[in-house]
Structure 1
Amino acid sequence: MTLSGNQKRQMKSAARLFAVQALYQMEQTGQTVDRVRVEFEDHRFGEEFDTHTMAEGDTPLFRKLIEDAVNHQAAIDQATDRALVAKWPIARIDPTLRALFRAAGAELMQSATPPKVVIVEFVDVAKAFFPEGDEAKFANAVLDHMAREVRPEAF
């Protein structure tokens, strides 16, 4: 089966959402990246819950995001800290946003995806988790700052 361009984009978007959820779960439970990866791939990608079917995620992108976020967490967190307001370290950020910044930071630092695409995609993830409120605007500002720092040639 050949996937359309739209289906591929949807799978990448789902992988980004799943990566944020996986990183959040890892932080909250102390589970390893391998354990969470297997759980998501075996029990969340494409699974049915009540009347809702979970999206199929782009497995290679999902794996890369969570592994790079874990392997490069210190550098990602430092870039996030520099993008945040003074005296507001990443440790004080909502854990869902922290996971989002780590997944997005991993993609900004470790992939060839255009930074503007990464920003738009992860702002959409923020909107999914925080449909009301200013978190998506906050995420946009932080990710824009991070992207300009780590990939200045793209701007």
Structure 2
Amino acid sequence: MNDDRKAAAKPANRRGAARLAAVQALYQMDIAEATLPMVIAEFEAHRLGREVDGDQYRQADPVFFRDIVSGVVRDQRDLDPQIHKALTPGWPLTRIDATLRAVLRSGAYELASRPDIPARVIITEYVDVARAFFDADAAGMVNAVLDTLARDRRSAEFLASEPT
């Protein structure tokens, strides 16, 4: 691969790593009741691009990481009802695993607040994040919920590619 292609691929990889780290940070906030400043400082100082417990973390875009984590925390009161509405009846968001909640909240945040990123890219990225933690059923649920949210919020992106 030539240097131009490596340089072009790097920002996307750094964003993917930021998404994964954001989900982990949100999980930590949910479970350990850590504060936003504490979690961001810990991840930036000790996790992003570093080795932790024998696992090498990929270098992540720190600005993108902060945007997702801060945005989810700031907008959670708006995001949670939207996610709940997109879930299967009888499965409230509070009943879902904390990591899966973090995946859904992060994806919902990006769909709502990052129009610069295509909805399909967001959905695919968070399905991949879900696969890092869960089986195909959970990844399928993430796909279904985020697709529902995306079609509601960004219908124009989907209308352009729908068969007539």
TM beyond 0.5: yes
Alignment of 1:139-154 (within 5 A): 139-154=142-157
Do residues 72 (structure 1) and 100 (structure 2) align? Answer: no
| Deviation string, structure 1 residues 67-88 (Cα, Å, up to 9, x no partner) | 1101110111111011011121
1:28 to 28, 31, 36: 31
Do residues 83 (structure 1) and 81 (structure 2) align? Answer: no
Whichever residue aligns with residue 144 of structure 2, its letter is A
1:114 to 118, 139, 143: 118
Do residues 125 (structure 1) and 129 (structure 2) align? Answer: yes
| Deviation string, structure 1 residues 66-122 (Cα, Å, up to 9, x no partner) | 111011101111110110111211001111110001111111111121110000000
1:5 to 4, 8, 27: 8
Please say which structure displays the higher CA radius of gyration. Answer: 2
- Distance in 2, matches of 1:10 and 1:109, equals 22
Q: Which runs of 4+ in 1 moved over 3 A?
A: 49-52
- Distance in 1, matches of 2:155 and 2:77, equals 20
> Cα RMSD (Å) of the superposition?
1.5
- Distance in 2, matches of 1:94 and 1:129, equals 11
Unaligned runs of 5+ in 1: none
| Deviation string, structure 1 residues 12-66 (Cα, Å, up to 9, x no partner) | 0000000000000000011111110010010001112465421111111101001
- Distance in 2, matches of 1:40 and 1:127, equals 21
> TM-score by structure 2 length?
0.88
- Distance in 1, matches of 2:70 and 2:17, equals 17
- Distance in 2, matches of 1:61 and 1:18, equals 10
- Distance in 1, matches of 2:147 and 2:25, equals 23
Aligned to 2:162: none
> TM-score by structure 1 length?
0.93
Unaligned runs of 5+ in 2: 159-164
